[in-house]
Structure 1
């Protein structure tokens, strides 16, 4: 039984789920991982796994608070509660105020709340996770790790929109970018896998999951990315449209009588892969249907891959060379077909696919291209570990300085 308070509880609270993990920041081992899902619905449950196997706990119908109580009961049963030194929270939007992870206090919580209009689907849930854990761990240090913080190194030419400048001055309307925690992790990992110096590296990265984005990263710092003021901008995603003509709002309002909220819902929840295929937002389901001849599934995948390749080509103009194109996220790590199509469409940048390595999701270095090719590789992301690292670092700094 581990009673040394050194482990980190990582919380990623969503609108209908709570992802959690207990990580030892010294060994970087995940002692337990899981998700409380379908919260607020019939059939709520916790799916969790340790080093041995996967387990399921039925919750019937649970809200976030009841789910957290069940998670804490589970951690107590696994003799992990007393081992916790701090809690790290994923927070999607930190605006311009946060360039790094930070210890949570009342001022930080207010700033997170103030950013809710910029991420209405995410920040309220992130803040709820903080509020609930504070109730059960009153004196335990808590840390906010922001998706947007990594992208605060972007230059103005990359983050400004060509709209009246007063909107930026008055309301901070600009491109922020997301998936920053993932990009920080895979940038370091990719450089290690390739044996190159991160401080002298030039990478293109594509984080592809239900939410998708891409970024240009120079010397370990973000210099451009695809997601914008909100996570809707950029690539085609599972249910999000990505880039489109802004006047589509006026057209849909005039032709269909939709309100702004209606259109926002359609573009966030009913578009992307799901919208085109009219079948699913899951790439695995679509690839299976496409192989069986479903033309809309084939079309959805084709649009997804083309828009991604076109965008990566554009992001390459922010770099002086390409040390590697990194594929990460659930689709990026596991879909050999998507990678194949994207690499094929990026031939102009010198990419040549190694078919066998791609089918294996990369060779021993994760590389999926031929030796005479511009390099592309697969890196498995680990946002939870990145959050644990940041949390442990901040707690250690606080302990060393004696700050509360």
Structure 2
């Protein structure tokens, strides 16, 4: 039972084949910028990237007719429940016509085109737009603005499934908090397996290596009308040049930790502040679960850093036991989502 996994990025396409739950190979296909510049849009790169994927399969002696299913990274879609979705015409159209041009949109499109030629299913799983909010979580404090669900769904759910399996629990019985710590930060409470709230990973919550997180609204308004910034400059400032980049000029946590080790007190203050904000957000999400928290799971690239986890942990370890699953593992997460459907552990969903 072989599963082809496709995860397009801006300058690469991660490709893998899994068999029996284990990777047969995982390879990142690099696309030179001078080649990609020949295309007018990401959508025009579809056939080029598909050809490169087929070439990699041949290199690893895997024929297309050996594949049981193809799964791609979920793109920018309308709000949907978590799960594994079979790519149908409606989903394809939404990916093709998406107002947001993002490389992940190609995941489902390429998966569908490869699978259609083989007569096998194509899936996407747990895109960033998954929305399982309780209605009370949508209220912002201003009638004209709703809180929205935007998060690192794939990694959060993959590690929640891992925790359930390792602890002999049913996923739908889980009451846990998962903190994805990477370039962006998502802190999500799962109530009976549903992601019922989350800080918006782009616009709110703790600041991160690149993102500014929640900011005082009046000061943001003053910046917006100062005449110093265009709209796209502010978006970039808040989402790409905020957080550690704003304060320390770098987004690499290892570099920041090295600064602290050689005595940089300012760097330590900023990292302590980031940990403080992460811990505060975890504490807030514990109230969403009425304090009934089985575990706090840390995942994402920053979770490799023991000093960081220890600093956050000392503020939240009274809430629940801490579990650390470092890294992202998107390829494995996608493969496992497909395997759960194939094994009947989870039903495939229809995109409507």
TM-score bracket, normalised by the shorter chain, equals 0.7 to 0.9
Whether 1:23 and 2:25 are equivalent positions in the alignment is no
Q: How does 1:148-297 map to 2 (within 5 A)?
A: 148=128, 151-164=130-143, 174-227=147-200, 231-278=202-249, 280-297=250-267
Task: Give the equivalent residue in structure 2 for 1:52.
Answer: none
Task: Give the equivalent residue in structure 2 for 1:312.
Answer: 282
Deviation at residue 215 of structure 1 after TM alignment: 0.8
Show CA shifts across 1:317-336 (max 9, x none).
Answer: 0113221111111112x111
TM normalised by structure 2 equals: 0.82
Whether 1:378 and 2:349 are equivalent positions in the alignment is no
TM normalised by structure 1 equals: 0.73
Distance 1:270 1:36 in 2: 27
- After superposing the two structures, state which structure 1 stretch, 174-183 or 261-270, moved more: 174-183
Task: Give the equivalent residue in structure 1 for 2:2.
Answer: 7
After superposition, the CA RMSD in angstroms is 3.2
5+ residue gaps, structure 1, are: 1-5, 45-62, 168-172, 352-373
5+ residue gaps, structure 2, are: 38-44
Distance 1:255 1:295 in 2: 32
* Greater relative contact order, per chain length (Cα 8 Å cut-off, separation 6+): 2
Task: Give the equivalent residue in structure 1 for 2:41.
Answer: none
Q: 2:105 aligns with which of 127, 137, 141?
A: 127
Task: Give the equivalent residue in structure 1 for 2:124.
Answer: 144
Seen in structure 2, the aligned counterparts of structure 1 residues 137 and 192 have a Cα distance that, compared at 3 Å, is: closer
- Quick check: 2:83–2:126 contact (8 Å CA) kept in 1? yes
Seen in structure 2, the aligned counterparts of structure 1 residues 89 and 163 have a Cα distance that, compared at 3 Å, is: farther
Across the two proteins, how many residue pairs are aligned to each other?
Answer: 335
Seen in structure 2, the aligned counterparts of structure 1 residues 233 and 115 have a Cα distance that, compared at 3 Å, is: farther
Distance 2:46 2:272 in 1: 38
Distance 2:173 2:109 in 1: 41
Q: How does 1:89-108 map to 2 (within 5 A)?
A: 89-97=72-80, 99-108=82-91
